Structure 1
């Protein structure tokens, strides 16, 4: 019992001690908490020591100015937020800015708002065309704030509900077209012709567009035109360049790794169809229109024309040995070509032409008079001085030769003869057409010519045509073109100093006369291939 009572006593004491201790802890916690509550804490970002005040509401005048600024800045959201109908005004302004996107807008308040209204100066401008007007904004108070009372008339005073403005542009048209009347930009003009064309038409190739600002309904139907400026279409210039022919010529010369140029014209009219040069030709500083080169065997067209007017025919008997001696000069055939059989190598003029026998044509030329080659050249257009609006040209020159050796060398294009690719295209056109053409680049602008003479007789040209056709058959030097019917031409390899020879091919097919020159190509074969690529492309 005593033990049990003692035990109870101890438990009671222990509980008291625990409670006492616990009480002390609670008091300490409470005291500490009170101390923490009384101590100043770190400042809160949500609490300020300064008094809170509402921003000063905008005045009617402020709202008018802010609206005009946002409206002029094409900020539909900002402008609409200052109206009493943000939804409707946002939609209307978005449509307006889309319809008028090409024009520049300015807007500003004229003076200060008065009597709950403000006048805004509005101006839409595009180039030299502008439409200035004024709108009156009505200002209202909503929940203590000034706002613009929205109406479609805030865009323009004549707008009814659901209407808007739209800008319409009428192209003035191009002042430059191709031969088919299709508009051309200056960048589409062949690079060799660009500067001359620009100078000939005054440099400005762009007509002035017309503009109008029109009120339209919700369906986009015109209601009323508010302002209009008529476009001005300047004098039209039509080039004779044919886009397809130019593209074919350019592709053909670009396909050759060395320097290359191709000039083509319509034989029957003299209209220039294409002038193409590749990068290698351009880098040399040469010009297919004014640059002159030794013509090589293409000059045999001239020599044949002269000989046929002085007792020779295509069937006349001649010789084509590998070499021939004329005075102190030995004339060889290229690559040892011969016609006929030794010892006399007898053949006919047309065969010698097809095989390009230098020895034959040196003998024919040596037997001509001093002025016969220059006369025949001029009959074919060489040496004629053309004044062609839009381009500067030089056909070439063939000098009088009193010495038979000089005439002999001139006879196969290795003397003093100099021609341009343009000049040789004129020669080909003359053979085809029966008379020297009058080259034209800009339709309606007159070409003049100095030094032109009557063309060779028809009987002579018919024989030259027959010979040029034989060149493009399996027995001729342009046999690679035998698969192209109605092709006429003459190959040429022109020696130039110690460097590689120039390669030529001159001719016509259907009504397209052309000249291909590959400076330093070393033979005429590549020129024939370039011509073939061109002719197959134009059909």
Structure 2
């Protein structure tokens, strides 16, 4: 028994050690105990809210780090509040993307930005364009403004070009809304045009109209196929096209009634016929305009340019504008005999280079010869040396009608901001633009020594007349004669007594315009072939055909 007692004591101690170790392992630490045990008197009882963690998959053979024990000592536990959703995108980028896609005709992108777009979203846009004959669309969005936390709108303006009617301005609103945290376009038919709101519609209406035909100055109808239908009522019948709202019938746009109530114009039947036949076989859009030098009455307008381009169109006149530049140089002290350089290339000091089409260095020649050869280098240099301080623009505006003015013709020139611009203006490029009628008025001014606006209605007001210096007018007449006898129009077959000036007007990315202006036997004229290339090779022969038919 005594031998067993020590062994029993050892066993009891071992059991107590094991029990103590187990108690230490399962007991919570003080921090944990403080969180779950009741607080002291007067504090009540609280417990931590339940935390749910979402764990990422753990690669095989690794253990995830404990999100709490891995924090530095003293770091407070993560916030227990529910995280807020990230802020929604702003509406501005959505509106901008929609307008850009609309301008590009990308209906798929447009539909992707719309909240619940109709199934025929793209077809509606296509039908709208086709039914109303929309040739082009331009959009000008305003600022996007919030009208509520989840709503915004963008007011915008637009212009549609309607075939047969012209420009059709409109205004509308693009509405946007916040849908499931994403800004979307809230599209309705009124987005296309306000007239489509609440089931409204738009339609094109054609009405056949009959009116007495416009007559020539002789009191006769215009000759057949006169190519003057954009300007006068021919044959007494015409079609009025109008754009109307449905169902109100309100007319938004309509073709104006053409002039013509059986009264006479200043057009001469024989001259009109010759102008129209001169364009037979010309494969490019073109125009021939003729003006009586003494009366400044329009004797003919044959036009395949469209949109009354012979009167209102604005085209770079190219070297035909050298008539105006030459007038300014003559007023600066030069004469037709003054020696001037005509190199193959000339560079304005610290500026751009100008070249001649034939690439030939003609050396020093007279101003008249440089004009006849149409030396770009000569006129760019002389303008730089003699016509700075706005002298060229003033000559064109004050003495040749290149300014805003009432009347039938259109032409303009801007002040040159740099020597390079001045050099380009001097050869009829850069800011210089003119219609064929404007350039016919220039030719008539040289022939008579007085600039006046042309008219097409007998007895109409010509406005003020601007006389030229006698010496300048006489010098220009001799220089324009040299163009036909020995210059760029010498091979065009023009009849004797013709004086004129060729022009080849460059157009970026397109063929050059072909010009020829001049006068003969009291009739001034201008010929333009849009994209026709060489003035001497294309426009001057048309002028020859016209003059020989008179």
Identify whether the pair has TM-score above 0.5, normalized to the shorter chain. yes
Q: 2: distance between equivalents of 1:262 and 1:204?
A: 21
Indicate yes or no: 2:408 matched with 1:396.
no
Question: Which range moves more in the overlay, 302-311 or 328-337?
Answer: 328-337
The equivalent residue for 2:345 is 323
Map 1:418-429 → 2, pairs under 5 A = 418-429=433-444
Map 1:336-347 → 2, pairs under 5 A = 336-339=359-362, 345-347=363-365
The equivalent residue for 2:431 is 416
The equivalent residue for 2:29 is none
**Equivalent in 361, 365, 377 of residue 359 of structure 1:** 377
The equivalent residue for 1:32 is none
Q: The residue matched to 1:182 in structure 2 has which SS?
A: coil
Asked if structure 2 preserves the Cα contact closer than 8 Å seen for 1:249 and 1:274, the reply is yes
Asked if structure 2 preserves the Cα contact closer than 8 Å seen for 1:493 and 1:523, the reply is yes
Question: Which range moves more in the overlay, 263-272 or 177-186?
Answer: 177-186
TM-score by length of structure 2 reads 0.54
The equivalent residue for 2:315 is 293
Q: 2: distance between equivalents of 1:491 and 1:176?
A: 33
1:515–1:317 Cα change, 3 Å: same
**Equivalent in 312, 333, 339 of residue 356 of structure 2:** 333
Indicate yes or no: 2:502 matched with 1:464.
no
The equivalent residue for 1:376 is 395
Shift of 1:287: 1.1
1:265–1:204 Cα change, 3 Å: closer
Shift of 1:433: 1.2
**Equivalent in 274, 283, 296 of residue 257 of structure 1:** 283
Shift of 1:188: 6.6
The equivalent residue for 2:506 is 495
Q: 2: distance between equivalents of 1:503 and 1:490?
A: 11
The equivalent residue for 1:80 is none
Q: 1: distance between equivalents of 2:224 and 2:542?
A: 27
Q: 2: distance between equivalents of 1:204 and 1:494?
A: 35
Q: The residue matched to 1:334 in structure 2 has which SS?
A: coil
Q: 2: distance between equivalents of 1:513 and 1:254?
A: 21
After the TM superposition, which parts of structure 1 deviate over 4 Å for at least 4 consecutive aligned residues? 183-189, 195-204
Deviation readout 1:227-257 (Å, 9 max, x if unpaired): xxxxxxxxx6221111111111111112211
The equivalent residue for 2:294 is 268
Asked if structure 1 preserves the Cα contact closer than 8 Å seen for 2:494 and 2:541, the reply is no
Asked if structure 2 preserves the Cα contact closer than 8 Å seen for 1:378 and 1:453, the reply is no
Deviation readout 1:179-199 (Å, 9 max, x if unpaired): 123356999782131269999
Aligned length, in residue pairs: 319
Shift of 1:492: 0.5
Map 1:124-163 → 2, pairs under 5 A = none
Deviation readout 1:79-136 (Å, 9 max, x if unpaired): xxxxxxxxxxxxxxxxxxxxxxxxxxxxxxxxxxxxxxxxxxxxxxxxxxxxxxxxxx
Question: Which range moves more in the overlay, 396-405 or 527-536?
Answer: 396-405
The equivalent residue for 1:519 is 530
The equivalent residue for 2:454 is 439
Shift of 1:428: 0.5
Q: 2: distance between equivalents of 1:272 and 1:322?
A: 39
1:329–1:385 Cα change, 3 Å: closer
Q: 1: distance between equivalents of 2:445 and 2:541?
A: 23
Shift of 1:333: 0.5
Q: The residue matched to 2:450 in structure 1 has which SS?
A: coil
The equivalent residue for 1:65 is none
Indicate yes or no: 2:217 matched with 1:179.
yes
Asked if structure 2 preserves the Cα contact closer than 8 Å seen for 1:431 and 1:464, the reply is yes
Deviation readout 1:379-412 (Å, 9 max, x if unpaired): 4433255544xxxx34211122253222111111
Map 1:204-283 → 2, pairs under 5 A = 205=261, 237-278=263-304, 281-282=305-306
Indicate yes or no: 2:527 matched with 1:509.
no
Q: Which has the larger radius of gyration?
A: 1
Q: CA RMSD of the aligned region, Å?
A: 2.8
Deviation readout 1:137-187 (Å, 9 max, x if unpaired): xxxxxxxxxxxxxxxxxxxxxxxxxxxxxxxxxxxxx78532123356999
The equivalent residue for 1:537 is 549
Q: The residue matched to 1:508 in structure 2 has which SS?
A: strand
Asked if structure 1 preserves the Cα contact closer than 8 Å seen for 2:214 and 2:260, the reply is no
Q: 1: distance between equivalents of 2:260 and 2:322?
A: 44
Asked if structure 1 preserves the Cα contact closer than 8 Å seen for 2:226 and 2:272, the reply is no
Q: 2: distance between equivalents of 1:187 and 1:360?
A: 43
Q: 1: distance between equivalents of 2:533 and 2:330?
A: 30
Shift of 1:352: 0.2
Deviation readout 1:36-86 (Å, 9 max, x if unpaired): xxxxxxxxxxxxxxxxxxxxxxxxxxxxxxxxxxxxxxxxxxxxxxxxxxx
Shift of 1:489: 0.5
Shift of 1:497: 0.3
Asked if structure 1 preserves the Cα contact closer than 8 Å seen for 2:223 and 2:272, the reply is no
User: Unpaired runs of 5+ in structure 1?
Assistant: 1-173, 206-235, 340-344
1:385–1:433 Cα change, 3 Å: farther
The equivalent residue for 1:165 is none
The equivalent residue for 2:20 is none
User: Unpaired runs of 5+ in structure 2?
Assistant: 1-211, 239-254
1:404–1:246 Cα change, 3 Å: same
